[in-house]
Amino acid sequence: MELSGGEIVMEALRREGVEHIFGYPGGAALHIYDALYQQDAVEHILVRHEQGAVHAADGYARSTGKPGVVLVTSGPGVTNCVTGIATANMDSIPMVILSGQVATKAIGSDAFQECDAVGITRPCVKHNFLVDRIEDLAEVMAKAFYVATSGRPGPVLVDIPKDITAPHIKVPFEYPEQIRMRSYNPTVKGHPGQIRKAVDLLLSAERPMVYSGGGVILADASEELTALTRELGYPITNTLMGLGAYPATDEQFVGMLGMHGTYEANMAMHECDVLFAIGARFDDRVTGELEHFCPHARIVHIDVDPASISKNVHVDVPIVGDVRHVLDDMLKVVRASDRRPDPQALETWWGQIRRWAATDCLAYDREADVIKPQYVVEKLYELTKDSETYVTSDVGQHQMFAAQFYKFDKPRRWINSGGLGTMGFGLPSAMGVKLAHPDATVVCVTGEASIQMCIQELSTMKQYDLPVVIVNLNNRYMGMVRQWQEFFYSKRYSHSYVDALPDFVALAESYGHRGVRVENKADVEGALREALERRGEVTFLDFITDQTENVYPMIAAGKGHHEMHLSSDRELA
């Protein structure tokens, strides 16, 4: 059959199994939008800002494992996407962004709404394409989905000039069944020799530690991770991005690690003799000061991306491959081996970890009259732990309180911007999650500063009937900025105080949603319970929380895992 460029885009989306795309129309993309109008297979979600489109596609992708898809126009349409693209790239989220471009003959002429989309996005995509022949469009679309979803996932941009999609130009359509790219061949299976070497090292450990990251979730390897960790009997910690990869309520889980990780997780990292890193990238919020990082440990590292191996920290046994395949192979080797971990050494190690855990590093003032943000998250967890619940967050103190106090037992339930730390992510990503899981409970934990960055998406939620519970932990500050200014800038709160906040209740109601302000601690549980039970509408819960509460534990910049603030009045550990 012969199709126009716009029809080729739609047919490619259909063949890739795409059901929803998030976008915003404009002149350069109108041929594609016209083709979109004339088909029923793909539903378009009209957002209110292109950044919201990318975050919504991101949330859809993180919660499903399927690629999120975005359609925007040229110029400001695509530049407004850059924050969302960089967010997805940092967290390795599969995504395909389709951007309209001015006609090929106008490229380079400073035409209206022209920008170098490929050049602008090159540093923050996995790959990008500029289509300059309609005959190449189908193959480029197939390559975009293949690259976005294989190996280490990531965002791929396809920039399509308007004349390529003109309805009067049609070419024979043929969609590739398989993609082969000479310079791109991701490794799936780990090297058997390295796997045996890793197992030998793990079984020789006296103070082992398992450190798993978001790569486990991206590879759908939680089941394999859980089986191997339980087989070994070793303590395990997850990164912020890895929460849910291993059940948080399991007795072998010692909490999140890193800057705001638990005392026991960080101390175990510091004192371990063998570190087993899986799908994690040793970022600075996890390692702290590199020269103090795991000073006694030999390190095994599994990652699908060879560029991540020994990038920040020297690794003794590297294994490049798909995490799920490698863990499965390792489990088979462990079970086939006559050797087992030294039970006496392991019991001594667990005894030390239990003594660290007795510090109760997440303690807070539960008797306070003012609403503590930790209390709100704890109540939210209690009310939703037995239901299918997804929690998105923005970035700041509320993000860390959610990570510390909500116990994620399943993968893909915790949706947040870990790498780039993007304020404004929580609300639109919740839209994407809700669209993907209409029967599940979706909660956005946010703060009064973060949510204002994409709050216009309340309109999108109304149009498409996407009922989400919004938990706004409103302390009238950019909380994490204030905390750093308190610790490191002698309480000079330069521009971290938000002194012209909207009436969030009235604002939510103006969009046609339900708004509730909660100022008394005694009303917290009731407000949450009612919002969760009113499943057919968006409820915006504006919790007026303690302005001075800080996130503890905290590792200051330049410190190691063993040097933590446990509270404002407790000495460094």
Active site residues: 50, 112-113, 162, 480
From residue 423, alpha-carbon distances to 18, 47, 91, 447 in Å are 27, 17, 15, 9
Distance between CA atoms of 268 and 456, rounded to whole angstroms? 44
The contacts of residue 232 (CB under 8 Å, 6+ apart) are 202, 208, 210, 334, 341
Give the pair of three-digit tokens for residue 163: 């004349």
Give the pair of three-digit tokens for residue 493: 């709160």
**In degrees to the nearest 10, what's the CA dihedral of 45, 472, 402, 294?**
90
Helix (H, G, I), strand (E, B) or coil at 299: strand
SS (H, E, C) 229-252: HHHHCCCEEECCCCCCCCCCCCCC
Distance between CA atoms of 175 and 302, rounded to whole angstroms? 35
What is the distance, to the nearest Å, from the Cα of residue 189 to the centroid of all Cα atoms in its chain? Answer: 25
Q: Which residue has the tokens 């399991």?
A: 250
CB atoms within 10 A of CB 257: 28
From residue 240, alpha-carbon distances to 151, 214, 405, 485 in Å are 21, 8, 12, 23
What ranges in 38-113 are assigned the alpha helix state H? 50-64, 76-79, 82-90
Between the two ends of the chain, the Cα-to-Cα distance in Å is 70
Residue among 345, 361, 331, 330 nearest 272 (CA): 345
69 and 12 in contact (C-beta within 8 Å)?
Answer: no
Give the pair of three-digit tokens for residue 345: 């050494």
The contacts of residue 500 (CB under 8 Å, 6+ apart) are none
SS (H, E, C) 440-487: CEEEEEEECCCHHHCCCHHHHHHHCCCCCEEEEEECCECHHHHHHHHH
Integer-rounded Cα Rg, in Å, for the chain is 24
Helix (H, G, I), strand (E, B) or coil at 411: coil
SS (H, E, C) 185-203: CCCCCCCHHHHHHHHHHHH
Residue among 448, 214, 194 nearest 323 (CA): 214
